[in-house]
Chain A
Amino acid sequence: DAKTTQPNSMESNEEEPVHLPCNHSTISGTDYIHWYRQLPSQGPEYVIHGLTSNVNNRMASLAIAEDRKSSTLILHRATLRDAAVYYCILSKDSGYALNFGKGTSLLVTP
């Protein structure tokens, strides 16, 4: 499986944008880029996913590099409820189990 690399932790101020990076230099042409987040003592929550083009939804935006070797999850205005561990995961489709790495622990301060 292609692996991803994320910073262990990041910190942001409330109401400011947050850019969470992910490197995936060995990504294959059929790998989707998924982002999930996990709040303490909860199951992971789907955030967004994409293949080649940038994607937007009500939660976040996903910016994918032209060579697809990296991507960035963008939270446009961080709130205290966005404090969580964010996982960047590659998967060919949802029929495959997701390989969770260590993710990025996002701290949001008032």
Chain B
Amino acid sequence: GAVVSQHPSWVICKSGTSVKIECRSLDFQATTMFWYRQFPKQSLMLMATSNEGSKATYEQGVEKDKFLINHASLTLSTLTVTSAHPEDSSFYICSAKRLAGLETQYFGPGTRLLVL
């Protein structure tokens, strides 16, 4: 099957620090990866779309200078939350689309971020 991993699975940080979250496709190449955010009792909200080798496309209302996305290879995308604040505390989830066809995406297990 197609496996997507995220690291770390959870992180606690102080307000003002930066946190990097990695998303890896373990057994397939991903041309496109997506980053979602989910607050408690709510559904997933798309933050940005990242394509390998190009700049990410951010959804309206998502600050690109605050949520830095890098998709440096066909198996790795990173999301860096810069100068994190308590309101950034959330569940961050990535998904990946296979390079070769198929009409579905595969999701990572998520990263829970708590900013104190």
Verify that A and B bind, or say they do not.
yes
Which residues of A approach B to under 8 Å, CB–CB? 32, 34, 36, 41-46, 49, 87, 91, 93-95, 97-103
The answer for the CA separation of A39 and B107 in the assembled complex, in Å, is 12
Query: Who on chain B is nearest to A50 by CB?
Result: B103
Query: Who on chain B is nearest to A101 by CB?
Result: B43
* CB atoms of A94 and B43 under 8 A apart: no
The answer for the CA separation of A94 and B34 in the assembled complex, in Å, is 11
Which residues of B approach A to under 8 Å, CB–CB? 4, 6, 31-32, 34, 36, 43-46, 49, 91, 93, 95, 97-98, 102-110, 112
Chain B residues lying within 8 Å of A102, measured Cβ to Cβ, are 43
| Prevailing SS type, chain B contact patch | strand
The answer for the CA separation of A105 and B36 in the assembled complex, in Å, is 20
| Prevailing SS type, chain A contact patch | loop
* CB atoms of A97 and B104 under 8 A apart: no
Chain B residues lying within 8 Å of A93, measured Cβ to Cβ, are 103
How far apart are A99's CB and chain B's nearest CB, in angstroms? Answer: 8
* CB atoms of A44 and B93 under 8 A apart: yes
The answer for the CA separation of A102 and B110 in the assembled complex, in Å, is 18
* CB atoms of A95 and B43 under 8 A apart: no
Partner of A46, one of B45, B46, B106, B109: B106
The answer for the CA separation of A42 and B34 in the assembled complex, in Å, is 16
